[in-house]
C-alpha cells in the first residue's frame, strides 16, 4: 500500500519503509544497490489521530509529498474553505469588486515542521523545501533570507510513525531544537532554544488564515504570512509571503501553463500580473504526483490589501481551463514588532 502521492510504502508488518533505492520516489539518499531490491526501514507506523493534536517531537511521513519530518509545534489557523457550503450562500461584493461566497473560517490545526534533508532532493520537483523566509535585519528593503527545510503541514497530511533512532531526522536545526528523552512519548522534547526561537519570531512565523477552493477537481490552497514593513524612499512598504499548494483530485493529467493575479491595495491601486507558469515552472499534476507547492512574495505601499486570480491549466487534448485562486486578505500586524531574529545564536 502506498499513501496518496507519498514516497513510502508499508510492508506486511507494521514497519514504515522507504521505496526502492533506484526509484525517484525514494525516501533515502541514493545508494549503490541493485535496482528495486531493497526497502529501507524508516520506523513503525502509528494510527493517525482523529481527535486532538500531535505533540512536539512527533515523527511523521507527509501523506502528499512523502518526506520524513518532525513536528516542532502546532498552530491554530482559520480555514476558509469555499468548497463547503455555508448556511448563507448569498454572493457578496468585497472592496475589490470581486464577487465571492461568504465563507466562515473554521479552526484547523497546522504544524510547523522540519523536513529531513535527505528527502529534499526527491521532493524538489513538487515542493519548495525552503518554505519560510524572513525580511533581512539590515537596510536593504528587498533582502530576504530563508530557513531551508521548514514547512507548514495540515493535520490530515501527517502519517505518524515512531523510531528507535535517537537522531531520526537530518536537519541542521534538529539537535539545536530537540533532544532525545526515552521517558517521553514521543521521545523528542523541545530544547529551550526552540521555545525561545518560537517566542521571538512568533509574529513572523504565525499561520493564521488558510484559504481553499476547488475548480474542476483542482484544489488551490493559499496561506498568506505577514513579513513586516520597511521604509523606502520616504514611504512604507509592507511585505507578505504566500504559500500555494495545487492538488489534482482527479486521475486526468493536467499541466499548469499560466497565472493571472489581481492585487488590490488599500491605497487604491489595482495591479494585474500575468505570466507563464509559477516560479519559473509549469508543473504537471498526475495521479502519481498529484500536488505541487511553492512560495512567493508580494509588497504593497499600504498596510492591507487583497489578492485573487486564476491558474490556467492544459489537458492532454490541448484544451485549457481556468482554476480559481480563492481571494485572500493581506493584513499587517497591528502592532509592529522588532525585526525577526534568524539563526544567529
Cα 241 off chain centre by: 11
- Please enumerate in sequence order all residues whose Cβ is within 8 A of that of 196, keeping only pairs 6 or more positions apart, or say none: none
- The pLDDT score that the predictor gives to residue 332 is 87
Q: How far is CA 320 from CA 254, 256, 315, 323, in A?
A: 9, 10, 6, 10
Three-state DSSP class for 177?
helix
Domains and CATH numbers, the chain: 41-84+105-331 (2.60.40.1470)
Any idea what DSSP says for residue 234?
Answer: T
Name the helix (H) or strand (E) containing 176: helix 174-177
Query: Going along 57-126, which residue ranges are E strands?
Result: 59-62, 68-81, 91-93, 99-101, 106-115
Q: In sequence order, what are the residues at sequence separation of 6 or more whose Cβ sits closer than 8 angstroms to the Cβ of residue 197?
A: 177, 341
3-class DSSP state of 205: helix
Greatest C-alpha distance within the chain: 65
pTM: 0.81
Per-residue pLDDT of the chain (345 residues; tens, 9 = 90+): 333 333 343 333 445 544 333 333 333 434 444 555 566 788 899 999 998 999 999 999 999 999 999 999 999 999 999 987 655 444 444 444 444 556 788 999 999 999 999 998 888 878 776 667 777 655 555 566 778 888 999 999 999 999 989 999 999 999 999 999 999 999 999 999 999 999 888 877 888 899 999 999 999 999 999 988 888 778 888 999 999 999 999 999 999 999 999 999 998 999 999 999 999 999 999 999 999 999 999 999 999 999 999 999 999 999 999 999 999 999 986 555 444 444 443
Instruction: Please tell me the predicted confidence (pLDDT) of residue 270.
Output: 95
Closest C-alpha to 245, from 3, 27, 60, 64: 64
Amino acid at each position: 500500500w502506498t499513501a496518496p502521492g507519498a514516497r513510502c510504502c508499508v510492508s506486511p508488518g507494521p514497519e514504515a519503509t522507504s521505496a526502492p533505492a533506484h526509484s525517484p520516489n525514494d525516501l533515502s539518499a541514493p545508494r549503490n544497490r541493485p535496482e528495486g531490491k531493497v526497502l529501507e526501514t524508516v520506523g513503525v507506523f502509528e494510527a493517525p489521530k482523529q481527535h486532538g493534536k500531535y505533540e512536539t517531537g512527533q515523527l511523521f511521513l507527509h501523506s502528499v509529498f512523502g518526506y520524513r519530518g518532525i513536528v516542532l509545534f502546532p498552530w491554530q489557523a482559520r480555514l476558509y474553505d469555499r468548497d463547503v457550503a455555508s448556511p448563507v450562500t448569498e454572493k457578496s461584493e468585497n472592496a475589490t469588486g470581486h464577487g465571492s461566497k461568504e465563507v466562515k473560517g473554521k479552526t484547523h490545526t497546522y504544524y510547523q515542521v522540519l523536513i529531513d534533508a535527505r528527502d529534499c532532493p526527491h521532493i524538489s520537483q513538487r515542493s519548495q523545501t525552503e518554505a519560510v523566509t524572513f525580511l533581512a535585519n539590515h537596510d536593504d528593503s528587498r533582502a530576504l533570507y530563508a530557513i531551508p527545510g521548514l514547512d507548514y503541514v495540515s493535520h490530515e497530511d501527517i502519517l505518524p510513525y515512531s523510531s528507535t533512532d535517537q537522531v531520526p531526522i537530518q536537519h541542521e536545526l534538529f539537535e539545536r531544537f530537540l533532544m532525545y528523552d526515552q521517558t517521553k512519548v514521543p521521545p523528542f522534547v523541545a530544547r529551550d532554544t526552540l521555545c525561545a526561537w518560537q517566542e521571538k519570531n512568533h509574529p513572523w512565523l504565525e499561520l493564521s488564515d488558510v484559504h481553499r477552493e476547488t475548480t474542476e477537481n483542482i484544489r488551490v490552497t493559499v496561506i498568506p504570512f505577514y513579513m513586516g514593513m520597511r521604509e523606502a524612499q520616504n514611504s512604507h512598504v509592507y511585505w507578505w509571503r504566500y504559500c500555494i499548494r495545487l492538488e489534482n483530485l482527479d486521475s486526468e493529467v493536467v499541466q499548469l501553463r499560466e497565472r493571472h493575479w489581481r492585487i488590490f491595495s488599500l491605497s487604491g491601486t489595482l495591479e494585474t500580473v500575468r505570466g507563464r507558469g509559477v516560479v519559473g515552472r509549469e508543473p504537471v499534476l498526475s495521479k502519481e504526483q498529484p500536488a505541487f507547492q511553492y512560495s512567493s512574495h508580494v509588497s504593497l505601499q499600504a498596510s492591507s490589501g487583497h489578492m485573487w486570480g486564476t491558474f490556467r491549466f492544459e489537458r492532454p487534448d490541448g484544451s485549457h481551463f481556468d482554476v480559481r485562486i480563492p481571494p485572500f486578505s493581506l493584513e499587517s500586524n497591528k502592532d509592529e514588532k522588532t525585526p525577526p531574529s534568524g539563526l544567529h545564536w
